[in-house]
Chain A
Amino acid sequence: MSSRSEPVAEPNHARRFGLIWLAATVVATPLVILLIGPIMPPGKATEQAAGQVTDNTVLLGMATPVLLLVVLYLAYAMICFRQPKGAVLEGPAIRGDARVQTTWLIVTSALVLSLAVYGTLRLLSDDGAGSGSGPTPLTTPKGPKLPVQVIGQQWAFTYRYPTYGGVEVPHLVIPKGKMIELHVTSLDVIHSFWSRQLGVKADANPQVDNIAFVEANRVGAFDVRCAELCGLWHGEMFDHGRVVTPAEFETWIHQAQVTYGPATKALPPYSTTYLPEPTRRGG
C-alpha cells in the first residue's frame, strides 16, 4: 500500500490519454460517418430529407470526438486512477489549469459556433431545408412550384390545391419531381405539420401562412403527424400521404375535383389564412 510519504512516479497521463483519444477519433469518426451516416434519419425520399441526412451526419461527425473524449476519459480514470484495494488515499489536489481551460473553451466555442453558422446557412438555402419559413421566406426555390395548402384543425389535417379549383381533400398527394410550396395554417389552435419521410416540419398557426418547400424524388407513402400538443386527440392526429408520378397526380386530382365537388362549392375562396369561425355555438 502506498502512502503520501512515498511518491509514486506517475506517467504523463495527459499525453497518454491524448494519444489514445486521438487514435480513437481518427479511427472511429470516419467509420461512424461511413457506416451510420447513410442510415441516418429521415431518409432520402425528398431533396429536403436528403439534406437533413447530411446535416445529421455532420452533427454526428462533430459529436463523435466529443463523445469519445468523455467516454474514454471515464474509462481511463476508472482504470488508472482506481483506488488500490484496501487503501484509503486522497488524490493530489487539483488546481485550475489555464491551458486545459482555455483549450476547452476555445474548442467547445468553435464547435458550437461553427454548427450555428452551418445551421443558419442551411436554413438560408433556397428550400429552407424543409422547415416552415413563415409567410415571406428569405429565399425561395427557382422554377415552377405547385402550391398546396395544409389546414390544421382539431383533429385532422386537410389539404387544398388552389391551382386546381381550390379543391380540398382529406389526404395529401403530391407529384414526384415537382417543387411543392406548402402553405401551412390552422383553423383553431396551434398545430404542427410534420412528415418525417418528406423532411418537412412547419408550425400551423391560426391566421399565419407558414411556407415550406419540398420536392419528392421517389414515389411511395409517407406519414403525417401533428407535432404540437393540440388537445385531446393530438396523439391520434396522423395521416398518410402519397407521392405519385406526375401523370398519376393529374388523374387523381381531376378525380378529386369530382369527388369533393359538393364540399368545394361550400368552401370559402382560397386564402392563405382563414378566420377561426364560427366562434359561437348555436342554441
Chain B
Amino acid sequence: MIVSPALGRGTRAAPETDGAAAVTPEPVKSFMRILSQSSKLGNPRAWAYIEWQHGGSNCFIGRRFELLGSGLSLFAKKLIGVTTAVAVVGALLGLYVAGWATSFPKEVSASAAPASSAGANLTLETVAAVGAKYSSHPSWVSYLVRTGGRWQRTTDFKLPANSVVSVTIYQFDSPTGLRNPFMSQVQGTVGAGAMLDGKPFNAIPPEEASHTFAIPELGVFVPLAGVPEEAKHPCEEAPCEPSTTDHRTITFSFRTGNKGRYRWQCFVPCAAGWYFGNGGPMQTLGYMDGFIDVV
C-alpha cells in the first residue's frame, strides 16, 4: 500500500514507518486511483506520482519529490513552511523599504555657464511651503531648482568637477534664526563673500537667517537672509516667482573640486512644527538636504 489515510493528517506514510521501500512505481491505472485518493487527503505524495505517470526519464524526479514529501517530520515541514513564509515576507518588506529609500527626486544637472566662464549655473529658490503641486507634504519648507524654465522639487544636483559654480538663490521665506551663529558668516565661496540683493556681504545677523546653503565637506556655508515679516507680497506656497512676490536674492560662487558625492544641507532649524525644528523636511531628502554629484 502506498498511500495511507494517515498521510492527510500529516504523519509519515505507513510503508516508511514499517521500514519498507517508500516508492514503488505502479501502473498508470493504479496510479490514477491513488492520485485521486491522495489529492483528497492533501497528500504531498501526489506530486511524486504525477512524475511516475510519465514514467521513464522522470522517474528520478518523482523519487526525489517522494522523499522530500514524506521523509520529513511534521516539525521539519512546519519549520520549512514558516521559514519560507518569513523569508518571502522579509524579502517583500525589504523590496518595499529599498524602493522607498531609493525613490529620491530626479537629479538635475546645472546649466552650462556662458562660454566666457568655465563652470555651471545653479538657480534655486527656498519656499516656506512647497505646496500640493510638488509634494504630498504641502506645508513643508523646501528648496526648488530651476531647470528647463520651470521650478522642480529636487535636491540632487550634478555639477562639473574642478570648476566654478555660480549659484543664484531666490529666498522667499521669512527669518527663523540660526541655532549656531557661527553659520552666519559666508565661508568657502570664491572671494569669501556673496551678494545679497546686489550688495556684497560676508555675514548677516544670525537672527535674520531663514536658511543656509552649506556643503560641509567643501567648507561652503552661505546664510540666506529672510524676507521681512512685514513684506507686502509674500509668497505663501511654491512655486514662487521673483517677478511677483517679495524675496531676497543671494548669489555666490564656489569651486567644486574633485569628483565625488557631497551632501549639502540647511543649518537653520526651519522645519515648522517639528521638535526643535529639525524633523520632517530637515530629515527627508528632497526638501532641505540633498546630494551634489561632482562628475
Contacts and interface: CB of A to CB of B under 8 A. Distances in A.
Contacts of A276: 179, 276
B185 interface: yes
A278 B277 contact: yes
B272 A267 contact: no
B229 interface: yes
Interface stretch (A40-48, A148-156, A190-198): A148-156
A189 B219 CA distance: 23
Interface string B157-188: 00000000000000001111101111111010
Given A276-B179, A283-B128, A266 B206 contact: yes
A233 interface: yes
A263 B282 contact: no
A141 interface: no
Given A231-B278, A263-B185, A282 B267 contact: no
Nearest to A276: B276
* Size range of the chain A interface in the assembly: 20 to 34
A118 B273 CA distance: 48
Interface in A99-117: none
Contact of A170 (B174, B219, B263): B219
B109 interface: no
A4 to B, nearest CB: 23
Contacts of B272: 281, 283
Nearest to B205: A266
B263 A281 contact: no
Interface stretch (B65-73, B91-99, B130-138, B283-291): B283-291
A189 B179 contact: no
B277 A279 contact: yes
A281 B205 CA distance: 16
A278 B269 contact: yes
B287 to A, nearest CB: 10
Interface in B141-169: 141
A268 B272 CA distance: 24
B194 interface: no
B263 to A, nearest CB: 5
A239 B206 CA distance: 24
16 contacts: A158-B180, A158-B182, A170-B187, A170-B219, A232-B283, A232-B289, A239-B216, A263-B185, A263-B203, A266-B182, A267-B181, A277-B177, A278-B277, A281-B277, A282-B229, A283-B272
The 10 closest A-B pairs by CB, nearest first: A263-B185, A262-B203, A266-B181, A281-B272, A278-B177, A232-B283, A282-B174, A168-B182, A282-B176, A262-B185
